[in-house]
Structure 1
Amino acid sequence: MHTVVYSPKDLSIIIGVGGNCKPTMFSLKEYMEGALILPKYIKGTINQFI
């Protein structure tokens, strides 16, 4: 499970993976201007129910 929130007004993206992941915010504007390097991965844990 993951959550992604896009904000076209301020060109930002918030991403979270799993219930224990602290949300990570990125500026799409900074990325497009070359001022932001995105992380290679975002770590979180998804609980598996059996």
Structure 2
Amino acid sequence: MDGVRPLYAYDLLLNGFTADLTARQAEEMARTPGVVSLSTPQSFIVASSPTA
């Protein structure tokens, strides 16, 4: 797709890539044949609790 440059590529457990997309690019990508899904960035905080 024009103007999209992958930041990371995945091919062991998943087949995909990471890219910064505008809303318009994401809409166009979602309509591209072969694209199964798009997802937004997610952050996770790992917290631990004391064990007795």
Shorter-chain TM-score above 0.5: no
TM-score (norm 1): 0.24
Give 1 or 2: higher strand fraction: 1
TM-score (norm 2): 0.24
Compare relative contact order (CA 8 Å, sep 6+) and give the higher one, 1 or 2: 1
